[in-house]
């Protein structure tokens, strides 16, 4: 990992794959770290000739923290309801600016941008606010944020926002495994032993639940993107699962419909997770799309 000073923030990033490879920036989701992208995920791209950039958002992993700055969620909700700008430490647009400025720090003029869940929302904003830096957009189980879309199931929402009974390693691993079952795939088997090992790896690297509070505030304080996306002129691929209870598939369909020319694939039985058995299939959808976009640029 290497630390970069970008957008006034210290960001930790990792670059893998061929030095002259096609640049691919991968943006992780809520409560995750750069290593949340498993080796199975990144390896499929590096073997296909991509230079993969993963990084920790501000307030996650090894990047800069906003220790002690606790959001007032009631005030944020009230401000959004009244059409006022809420007071938050930062917004999703700030996180998108971090991503764009990271590419500058790496000397990369443009890259393919891939984001999952909250990372997909950030990826949309990178494309909207920094169009020249984006070769393509891939959004995985993401959303426009339009208010008329169906909400998460109550079980999935509670699971996402609940906290473990203790902060020790075993308690955190058990809690995350249990929570993920609320929005897991129904058509693809999970590997709980592998998942537990990966959760433990993330815990050992940096356990920092306070950062998730500020990320949740950023999510609440960020306006919908549906109308803006109608004018986006970037090649886009949207992937979603029919069994996603956290961000229901209607969100993915709306996202693809809002972006002119976007490709959409909805996978039966896929939830809001990354089962190992599904990752090769996702690579089979994403890699040819990225290669086609590269070919059209030449």
Q: What pLDDT digit, counting tens, does each position of 24-47 carry?
A: 999 999 999 999 999 999 999 999
With 70 as the cut, is the pLDDT of residue 207 above it? yes
Confidence (pLDDT) at 188: 96
What CATH number is attached to the domain comprising 276? 3.40.50.1820
Q: Which domain holds residue 247?
A: 2-297
Confidence (pLDDT) at 298: 75
- List the one residue out of 90, 102, 106 whose CA is nearest residue 130: 102
Instruction: Give every CB contact of residue 142 below 8 A, 6+ residues apart in sequence.
Output: 115, 116, 117, 119, 120, 121, 123, 124, 238, 240, 247, 251, 252, 255
Q: Span 155-179, mean pLDDT? A: 95
With 70 as the cut, is the pLDDT of residue 123 above it? yes
Q: Span 198-215, mean pLDDT? A: 97
Distance of alpha carbon 30 from alpha carbon 92, whole angstroms = 11
Q: Span 285-298, mean pLDDT? A: 95
Q: Would you say 132 and 110 are in contact if contact means Cβ atoms under 8 Å apart?
A: yes
With 70 as the cut, is the pLDDT of residue 133 above it? yes
Confidence (pLDDT) at 266: 98
Residue 292: C-alpha distances to residues 51, 72, 162, 178, 194 (Å): 17, 45, 41, 39, 33
With 90 as the cut, is the pLDDT of residue 297 above it? no
Residue 19: C-alpha distances to residues 27, 50, 112, 146, 291 (Å): 20, 9, 15, 39, 17
Question: What does the pLDDT look like over 148-157, one tens digit per residue?
Answer: 999 999 999 9
Mean pLDDT of the chain: 96
- Find how far residue 39's CA is from the centre of its chain: 16
Question: What does the pLDDT look like over 61-82, one tens digit per residue?
Answer: 999 999 999 999 999 999 999 9
- List the one residue out of 201, 190, 270, 176 whose CA is nearest residue 34: 201
With 70 as the cut, is the pLDDT of residue 1 above it? no
Instruction: Give every CB contact of residue 24 below 8 A, 6+ residues apart in sequence.
Output: 45, 50, 51, 52, 53, 111, 112, 114, 290
Residue 141: C-alpha distances to residues 114, 244, 253, 273 (Å): 11, 8, 10, 9
Q: Looking at the 3D structure of the chain, how many domains does it have? A: 1
Structure tokens at 202: 């993330």
Confidence (pLDDT) at 38: 93
Question: What does the pLDDT look like over 76-117, one tens digit per residue?
Answer: 999 999 999 999 999 999 999 999 999 999 999 999 999 999
């Amino acid at each position: 990992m290497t630390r970069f000073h970008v957008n006034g923030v210290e960001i930790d990033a990792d670059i893998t794959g061929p030095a002259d490879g096609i640049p691919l920036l991968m943006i992780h989701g809520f409560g995750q770290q750069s290593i949340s992208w498993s080796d199975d995920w990144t390896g499929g791209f590096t073997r296909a000739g991509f230079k993969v950039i993963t990084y920790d958002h501000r307030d996650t992993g090894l990047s800069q923290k906003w220790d002690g700055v606790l959001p007032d969620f009631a005030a944020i909700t009230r401000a959004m309801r009244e059409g006022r700008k809420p007071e938050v430490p930062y917004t999703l647009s700030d996180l998108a600016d971090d991503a764009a400025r990271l590419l500058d720090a790496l000397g990369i003029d443009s890259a393919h941008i891939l984001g999952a869940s909250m990372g997909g929302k950030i990826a949309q904003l990178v494309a909207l606010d920094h169009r020249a830096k984006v070769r393509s957009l891939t959004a995985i189980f993401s959303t426009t944020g339009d208010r008329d879309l169906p909400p998460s199931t109550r079980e999935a929402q509670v699971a996402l926002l609940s906290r473990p009974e203790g902060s020790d390693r075993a308690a955190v691993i058990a809690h995350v495994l249990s929570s993920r079952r609320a929005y897991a795939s129904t058509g693809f088997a999970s590997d709980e032993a592998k998942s537990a090992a990966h959760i433990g790896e993330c815990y050992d690297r940096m356990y920092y639940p306070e950062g998730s509070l500020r990320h949740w505030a950023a999510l609440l304080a960020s306006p919908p993107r549906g109308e803006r996306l109608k004018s986006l002129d970037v090649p886009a691929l949207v992937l979603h699962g029919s069994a996603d209870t956290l961000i229901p598939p209607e969100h993915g369909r709306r996202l693809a419909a809002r972006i002119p020319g976007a490709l959409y694939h909805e996978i039966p039985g896929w939830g809001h997770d990354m089962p190992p058995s599904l990752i090769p299939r996702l690579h089979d959808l994403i890699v040819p799309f990225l290669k086609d976009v590269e070919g059209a640029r030449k």
